[in-house]
Chains A and B, each alone.
Chain A
Amino acid sequence: MSEKIYAWLLRLYPSHFRGAYGDAALQLFRDRSRDERGLFRGLRLWLDLLSDLAVSVPLEHRRGKRALIGASAQQRLDGTPLFHVLENGALRLEAQLCGGLVSLVTFCSILVLSAHGGSYRPLSTWPARPLHASAAPSSALERPAQAADRAQEGTLASRQPTMGGGSRGRGNTEPRGFLARLLWLPGGAGSPQSPAPQPGPQGATSAMAGGVKPDAAERQRVIDGVIAILKQYYIDPDVAQKMAEVLLSHEKSGDDDAVTDGAAFAALLTRQLREVSHDLHLEVAYFQNPLPDRPPAPTPERLARYRAAMEEQNCTFEKVEILPHHIGYLKLNSFPDPSVCESTAKAAMASLNDASAIIFDLRGNRGGYPSMVMLIAAYLFDHPEYMYTPRENTTERCWTRSPVPGNKLADKPVYVLTSARTFSGAEHFSYNLKMLKRATLVGETTGGATDVGNFHRIDDHFGMGIRETRAINPYAEPDWAVTGVEPDVKVKAADALETAVKLAESRLQKE
């Protein structure tokens, strides 16, 4: 028995050693075990053998490697590459089986992972962020034909501009950003597309009141409309099919009969859709006033009005100051259109260039243009940085154009003040700076308006928003949709500035 054990242990040696001395070593073992009988001597024998193994096995393996390295060096001198055979003997059956099994498991794992490629993103895959813009895929989902179709049916969201900031809170049935953009609610200082001809702000507000109860025919029409849109546009056809089935089954079982008004019906449908998809970017909304057929096109008059309004409000850069201890303070109430406000933004950032720390006050910021978010964020990095947004596929536009020539803020501490009224583009800014650990967020949880996707008109009073992009979120789902961005330091919005100043001062004192 003990001989068998030792014979098995000899397999720990490299095969060349086993081949040369295996039999002799076994013979020595036999000699000793024949001579050293009894419990004590037997134990001592095994103690000797084990310590011998512990010393000589690594030694022999190292020696084998050394010989191989030496041989390679010799071949390199000749200038002729050569493969070296590590083992002379054929592979054992067990080794072949084990290798085959490992290969099979690896292959299956890769298959499973590739099948879940869209949704599986480990939290710790920081290096898995998309490559820099030059290597990033261009927007592939937005096919021209699709875009044209959308225009035909009255899709009201345009791709480039605006994160409208019309939302007024989390978890209610009120139309959020993209829906508010449709109506162009006040406070959405971001866009020259305002205001829609009708309904106006009052219309939107009264939409919240709920409207009249939709009858069975209207409910059926809305559900059919939702299903048709889902099947046509939703990013995952299987989930779209499941959502359609769930909507129909709820309708059949009479779950929708109890709704008292249009807003409640829209909220109910949204809930039913999200129960299946868990997609917070999916929403059905009700509007009391009839929806326009087409989005309000930006006319020269509106652009002029927007420009005038921006000039009047200093492009919503409300305050740009240097506080004591050289702390820069920027109160920004929207992220305005760079084509109008680029010079103002650059001037504001330049005036803060010598600050030792910088505080962005976004407590009243309702969003705006992603391009302005990127323009300002560029000052905070010394290299191009990926800024995730669920609104767009990952393209060059998702990378900051850092470094900014002459900028000294790239390594300065950053604080972002947030409130429950911080929306959309401001959340885009806050979320990414937080996730990149580039800023400390101080204040309240933000509003949770991702303002994602495209709006589809279902009928005069109902519409729905669908996310049709597959943006890569390197921080894994979910983003700030509905839930908002949690601050790092939770204080009342009113106390946020004071807290951030204290934090900045104490940090600067330590440096």
Chain B
Amino acid sequence: MRQVADQTGGRMRVGPGTLYSSIRSLLEEKLIEEVDLREDVRLGPERRRYYRLTSAGRELARSEAERLADLLRAARVKKIFRGDHV
């Protein structure tokens, strides 16, 4: 959650409900998978759940990123951005 907020400069804030709802969808579509439970010594005895991308998930994420990159390229060609900061 914190990571999402940090990455978007606080514009996007995900709550636990939305987060786990999304996780559930991704699990159902087999885009992520849960890995074994283990304790994070840094966070004390609290139980955490960990997920990782499956190969299908990685593939989808890549294709989505490429789609966005293409979009960005097109935006640059059209000089939608001011300057070259993107």
List chain A residues, Cβ under 8 A from B16. 21, 24-26, 28-29, 49, 52
Given contacts A20-B24, A21-B23, A52 and B17 within 8 Å (CB-CB): yes
List chain A residues, Cβ under 8 A from B9. none
Q: Which of A21, A27, A32 contacts B47 (CB 8 A)?
A: A27
Whether a CB of chain B sits under 8 angstroms from the CB of A233 is: no
Residues of B11-25 at the interface with A, using a CB-CB cut-off of 8 Å, are 13-21, 23-24
Shortest Cβ distance from A27 into B: residue: B46
A24 to B34, CA, bound (A): 13
Q: Which of B14, B15, B20, B46 contacts A53 (CB 8 A)?
A: B15
A17 to B13, CA, bound (A): 21
Shortest Cβ distance from A49 into B: residue: B15
A30 to B23, CA, bound (A): 19
0 or 1 for each of B12-54: is its CB under 8 Å from A? (1 = yes): 0111111111011000000000000000000000111100000
Shortest Cβ distance from A29 into B: residue: B16
The answer on a CB contact under 8 Å between B17 and A13 is: yes
Whether a CB of chain A sits under 8 angstroms from the CB of B1 is: yes
Residues of B47-81 at the interface with A, using a CB-CB cut-off of 8 Å, are 47-49
Q: Which of B20, B46, B47, B48 contacts A25 (CB 8 A)?
A: B20
A138 to B21, CA, bound (A): 62
Extra A-B contacts (19), CB below 8 Å, given A55-B18, A56-B20: A17-B24, A20-B24, A21-B16, A21-B20, A21-B23, A23-B47, A24-B48, A25-B17, A26-B16, A28-B16, A29-B16, A30-B46, A48-B15, A53-B15, A53-B17, A55-B17, A57-B17, A60-B17, A60-B21
A25 to B18, CA, bound (A): 10
CB distance from B63 to the nearest CB of A (A): 25
Whether a CB of chain B sits under 8 angstroms from the CB of A35 is: yes
Q: Can you offer 16 A-B residue contacts whose CB atoms are under 8 A?
A: A21-B24, A24-B20, A24-B48, A25-B17, A25-B19, A25-B20, A26-B16, A32-B1, A48-B13, A48-B15, A52-B16, A52-B17, A55-B17, A56-B17, A56-B18, A56-B21
Query: How would you classify the secondary structure of chain A's contact residues: helix, strand, loop or mixed?
Result: helix
CB distance from A268 to the nearest CB of B (A): 77
A26 to B47, CA, bound (A): 11
Whether a CB of chain A sits under 8 angstroms from the CB of B2 is: yes
Whether a CB of chain B sits under 8 angstroms from the CB of A51 is: yes
List chain B residues, Cβ under 8 A from A27. 46-48
Given contacts A17-B24, A48-B13, A24 and B49 within 8 Å (CB-CB): yes
Residues of A40-77 at the interface with B, using a CB-CB cut-off of 8 Å, are 48-49, 51-53, 55-57, 59-60
Which 9 pairs between the two chains have the least Cβ-Cβ distance? A52-B15, A56-B17, A25-B16, A21-B20, A28-B16, A52-B17, A56-B21, A56-B18, A48-B13
CB distance from A478 to the nearest CB of B (A): 59
A28 to B17, CA, bound (A): 10
0 or 1 for each of A260-301: is its CB under 8 Å from B? (1 = yes): 000000000000000000000000000000000000000000
